[in-house]
Amino acid sequence: EVQLVESGGGLVQPGRSLKLSCVASGFTFSNYGMNWIRQAPGKGLEWVAYISSGSSYIYYAETVKGRFTISRDNAKNTLYLQMTSLRSEDTALYYCARWRYFDYWGQGVMVTVSS
Amino acid sequence: DVLMTQTPVSLPVSLGGQVSISCRSSQSLVHSDGNTYLHWYLQKPGQSPQLLIYRVSNRFSGVPDRFSGSGSGTDFTLKISRVEPEDLGVYYCLQSTHFPDTFGAGTKLELK
């Protein structure tokens, strides 16, 4: 069974950093590109970042470029999102999902940026 | 970025009825490999989005045949027939032909 489990969220002050993790199981993680998607409270889905299976290709949404860093460790079946210079508008539920069809999603992890 | 315009925003339905949701893209979603990477998702209240239809018209594993997708180029439709209570929630289209991947704003399917 394919599973994606996010962790690392929480309450953080503006300007601080946070690192999210997504542990994958039930499939060959190293064969798939992965994404982070977020959903602000009561809002729609916003794609945040993509990383290819071997980390050769990385893309970011303009809203997070220069502040967020996506990475992965295929030996640990884990996807990461390092978030720096956090803003109130980054407050959202963050999901990881498998590319290209976004066929499997994690349960999401909440990030709240507030003083 | 490719703009995905989803209509309507809200869709009242009676159980057992049929509905259609439209998704239009600002440019063709035909990839250079010949495939069209347009997908549909349902997000039930309090849950993660779940894939219903991939590449325009292919039902994902376990998705009932009440759900069907169609379209080409820039114009796509999701049809739901014989609506059941578990079909209520917010529907999203997503294109993954062009980077960045972009979602429609969502259509809320709710009871009349």
Q: Per residue in A3-56, pLDDT tens?
A: 999 999 999 999 999 999 999 999 999 999 999 999 999 999 999 999 999 999
Residues of B with CB below 8 A from A44's CB? 90, 92, 103-106
In chain A, % of residues over pLDDT 90: 98
B-facing residues of A in 35-94 (CB < 8 A) are 35, 44-47, 50, 59, 61
Angle at CA of residue B104, ends B6 and A101, nearest 5°: 125
Is the CB of A27 inside 8 Å of chain B's CB atoms? Answer: no
Q: Which chain B residue shows the shortest CA-CA distance from A46?
A: B103
- How many Å apart are CA A103 and CA A98, to the nearest integer? 6
The DSSP element (H or E) to which A34 belongs, if any, is strand A34-39
In chain B, % of residues over pLDDT 70: 100
Q: How confident is the model at residue A100 (pLDDT cuts 50, 70, 90)?
A: confident
pLDDT in tens, chain B (112 residues): 999 999 999 999 999 999 999 999 999 999 999 999 999 999 999 999 999 999 999 999 999 999 999 999 999 999 999 999 999 999 999 999 998 999 999 999 999 9
The residues facing B40 across adjacent strands are: B53, B93
CA B16 from centroid of its chain's CA atoms: 19
Q: Do A102 and B96 touch (CB under 8 A)?
A: yes
**What separation in angstroms does the CA of A87 have from each of A21, A76, B63?**
19, 30, 38
